[in-house]
Amino acid sequence: MRISVFLPLSLGLIAMLEGGLTFCIMFLAALIHETGHYFFIRLFGARITRIDIEVLGAMIVYADGDTGLNADIAIAMGGILFNILAALIGIMFFMFYYDIYLFIFIAANLALAFVNLLPVASLDGGRALTAVLFKKCDIDKAERIARRVSFTGKMLLLLFSGFLVILSGFNTAMIVLFLLNIIQINN
């Protein structure tokens, strides 16, 4: 397991800015997301080689050649599926029991699902898109298309996070998110 050196600092900063319970809810949504990937990796019988935990997420790395492209697509989309299912369960409870933290749980799961659907190389949508392109095109063309789509997606994500900074009245957490997105664009 590899853990980013910036992880403790960023987690502490987010917990301080957003409050402990909100942070725990966001962390739970991320854990649900990674559990979705883990479930599909195990379902397809792939061997996990390592887990990387970064500031903006985690990556469960499994052995190349253990799966086909269809399995790779399912594994990439597994986290999104688990987040959507968690949000739907949260919505069912929310219909009978209104609670702000339950609302945050629903929002955190939906946000993780929809952001990860973006066709950006470092996100699940980008990995799924690349696998689909590998099925349809030769490798060079697939990688070229995936890079262009990923760059466009990163720019849109950066513009959206900049918009959120302005919309939030320059909320400190939104500024941190914006800066982290700038860092991610370089990766």
> In the 3-class helix/strand/coil scheme, how is 82-141 assigned residue by residue?
HHHHHHHHHHHHHHHCCCHHHHHHHHHHHHHHHHHHCCCCCCHHHHHHHHHHHHHCCHHH
**Could you tell me which residues come within 8 angstroms of residue 38 by beta carbon, excluding any fewer than 6 positions away?**
48, 60, 78
Distance CA 77, CA 95 (A): 27
Helix 20-43 to helix 69-96 angle, to the nearest 10 degrees? 140
Phi-psi region of 100 (alpha: psi -120 to 50; beta: other; left: phi over 0): alpha
Alpha-carbon separation of residue 124 from 30, 37, 65, 86, 143 (angstroms): 13, 10, 19, 17, 16
Alpha-carbon separation of residue 114 from 78, 99, 111, 123 (angstroms): 13, 23, 5, 11
CA 41 to chain centre: 16
pLDDT attached to residue 1:
60
pLDDT attached to residue 4:
60
Which H or E run includes 6?
none
pLDDT attached to residue 63:
83
114 CB neighbour count, 10 Å cutoff: 13
pLDDT attached to residue 62:
87
Per-residue pLDDT of the chain (187 residues; tens, 9 = 90+): 666 655 666 667 777 776 778 878 888 898 999 999 999 999 998 888 888 877 667 888 888 667 789 999 999 999 999 999 999 999 999 999 999 999 989 998 998 899 899 898 888 999 999 999 999 999 999 999 999 999 998 888 778 877 877 887 777 666 666 676 666 555 5
Q: Is 15 exposed, middle or buried (0-12, 13-18, 19+ CB in 10 A)?
A: middle
pTM score, two decimals? 0.81
DSSP annotation of 19:
-
